[in-house]
Structure 1
């Protein structure tokens, strides 16, 4: 564990842990990736993060949306400030991430609260930077909307530019707060250009950044998809990994087919299938490998609602990382495996 005092918030953007962590009540707990865990993460004690969250009455990872944090929102002391000032509730889960083709740079405007210069995100093909992805509940996103001035200073989007890879290798497609077209120069969050170039936050500290002189950029070079309204956890990611009766060559594919975008592709997940004896297999994460299919979804929330009902309480829908590091939803067996035998061939074959 570590206290907030190890990571002060000033000067902006504050000190940020060089690890993944979950934060609550002024304290952080380090996390490590584990693809065999239902949440994909474990605490130092070995406890699955989802179990740790459940013990605190908090939403599991499946009920959260990934939001890229490239400024102060990955600072533990800032998280405590959000709790006291803007009403942030519940544990905050932040995963260490390596961003390629993206950079945090100094913005043209200044912060409203203290005249420090804030960070903004820009496309930068040559850049590789460490940042964090906050797996935020919908309630936490509403707090971030207020903090970031969504619609005025920043807008919430899905960034298509670059690559974001979590500790452990998973490739994610997070949301991010990027510059909006501000109505006041002071709120301008497009990059500040000095001698025609943006200035990376990693290269110039806040003390010098506030005194920079330049011109606001006309844009940030990012390819993005707009987010209208509140983001929905089921949309992240917009694909599902199927290995049993929902496969394209299996009995219940017609249930999923109307929501399929394009042709499903073959994939593999580290896990083991067991024979339930009921005409469908049970998946345990971790193991030699399970062959299946990845289905991209046209309406993820609608499709997954139907699948949740079909799969029932024996399974839990969770995000998994496939053999190519793509993240997908999958249904994992959570009932006992008593009396079941591992399948030695792919399910549905002889």
Structure 2
């Protein structure tokens, strides 16, 4: 597969446009392939140079937000098309590198909407629950400014609403399955799914050229378990779990800082990487190869809880999203300085009591 490509290789017409069959970074009319790399802080590496580099490092070096400051936006129409992204830059002010992660969606489907678009009398797509369906779409890791551009394009608050969707499963190319993702869902009656002979019509089954001629009735709803987002989405809200392995574990010295923010019981979890003894009463986590790290995944009431924990962890740690051994996506804190000279821990960091 190519390390780099141009928009010309992935045109926007016919709808929904062509797109790479891999994850990529789009910037200034060019794309750079992304590959999963669990040893990288971001979990991804950017290709196109030698050697491939950590995605977060690439972004921050150029003055752009890292993945932790971006939200996962499920994109099921034309937005993952490179040429469409360039159009969005010119038409709606989309700016900065766009991170597009290829995703397998189960129980979800892009279907044709009940009404036609005013601008061209074409039928738009809308997301709906679809038990048993499996489709390939994309998760765009969008910065705050990019969300505003997508809001303008989708007509947020008029044609579409932005919501956190927890129906089905969305698994990105790194094997991480999100408990919930953001998506633009139909807001008007004309953006409800179209029912033909009582069933929605998947966009993959009928081309857009024929979709405008479909005859049916609007569905009562989209069948999705979704909570509408008011105002700018908070990147800290997704994922809704925190993997802890040291002093924040249940029963450990500083569990009291996390306990009030837990939305339910912690569950045993593991992460690829290694744990080192800093000699200061707390451990250092390094991602990637190693004996593996055991700890606990704690569901959070709100992403706002992370502000206080960020302060507690301090500048020696960086909060990043990781894929746990069971495939779920969670936040955790990784060690920033070197671990040279620190003993490797082959057992979990001790807690004083067992979690209830």
TM-score category of the 2 structures, normalised to the smaller one = over 0.9
Query: Is the 2:252–2:351 contact (alpha carbons within 8 Å) kept by the matching residues of 1?
Result: no
Query: How do 1:155-170 residues align onto structure 2 when only pairs under 5 Å count?
Result: 155-170=161-176
Secondary structure at the residue paired with 2:8?
Answer: helix
Give the aligned partner of residue 241 of structure 2: 239
Give the aligned partner of residue 135 of structure 2: 129
Deviations 1:82-133 (A, max 9, x none): 1111111111101000001111111122234332221111111121000000
Query: Is the 1:12–1:116 contact (alpha carbons within 8 Å) kept by the matching residues of 2?
Result: no
The number of equivalent residue pairs is 344
Give the aligned partner of residue 180 of structure 1: 187
Query: Which consecutive aligned stretches of 4+ in structure 1 deviate over 6 angstroms post-superposition?
Result: none
Distance across 2 between alignment mates of 1:83 and 1:148 = 14
Query: Is the 2:197–2:216 contact (alpha carbons within 8 Å) kept by the matching residues of 1?
Result: yes
Gaps of 5+ in 2: none
Give the aligned partner of residue 198 of structure 1: 200
Query: Is the 1:13–1:118 contact (alpha carbons within 8 Å) kept by the matching residues of 2?
Result: no
Query: How do 1:36-75 residues align onto structure 2 when only pairs under 5 Å count?
Result: 36-44=39-47, 45-75=51-81
Distance across 2 between alignment mates of 1:194 and 1:328 = 40
2:134 maps to 1:108: no
Distance across 2 between alignment mates of 1:32 and 1:113 = 38
2:300 maps to 1:300: no
Gaps of 5+ in 1: 183-187
Query: Is the 2:166–2:181 contact (alpha carbons within 8 Å) kept by the matching residues of 1?
Result: no
Distance across 2 between alignment mates of 1:56 and 1:256 = 34
The alpha carbon displacement at 1:158 in A equals 1.2
Q: Which moved more, 1:339-348 or 1:288-297?
A: 339-348
Query: Is the 1:12–1:118 contact (alpha carbons within 8 Å) kept by the matching residues of 2?
Result: no
Give the aligned partner of residue 32 of structure 1: 35
Deviations 1:25-59 (A, max 9, x none): 00111111122211111123421111111122110
Seen in structure 2, the aligned counterparts of structure 1 residues 121 and 346 have a Cα distance that, compared at 3 Å, is same
Give the aligned partner of residue 84 of structure 1: 90
The counterpart of 1:343, out of the listed 342, 345, 349, is 345
Query: Is the 2:251–2:351 contact (alpha carbons within 8 Å) kept by the matching residues of 1?
Result: no
Give the aligned partner of residue 216 of structure 1: 218
The alpha carbon displacement at 1:263 in A equals 1.4
Deviations 1:182-222 (A, max 9, x none): 4xxxxx11112222221111111111112222222221111
Distance across 1 between alignment mates of 2:46 and 2:256 = 40
Distance across 1 between alignment mates of 2:106 and 2:324 = 20
Secondary structure at the residue paired with 2:279?
Answer: coil
Secondary structure at the residue paired with 1:300?
Answer: coil
Secondary structure at the residue paired with 1:79?
Answer: helix
Deviations 1:51-82 (A, max 9, x none): 11112211000000001000011111111111
Q: Which moved more, 1:339-348 or 1:30-39?
A: 339-348
Query: Is the 1:264–1:294 contact (alpha carbons within 8 Å) kept by the matching residues of 2?
Result: yes
The counterpart of 1:148, out of the listed 145, 154, 178, is 154
The counterpart of 1:21, out of the listed 10, 21, 24, is 24
Deviations 1:223-282 (A, max 9, x none): 212212111000011211111111111111111111111211111111100111111110
Give the aligned partner of residue 185 of structure 1: none
Tell me the C-alpha RMSD between the 2 structures.
1.4
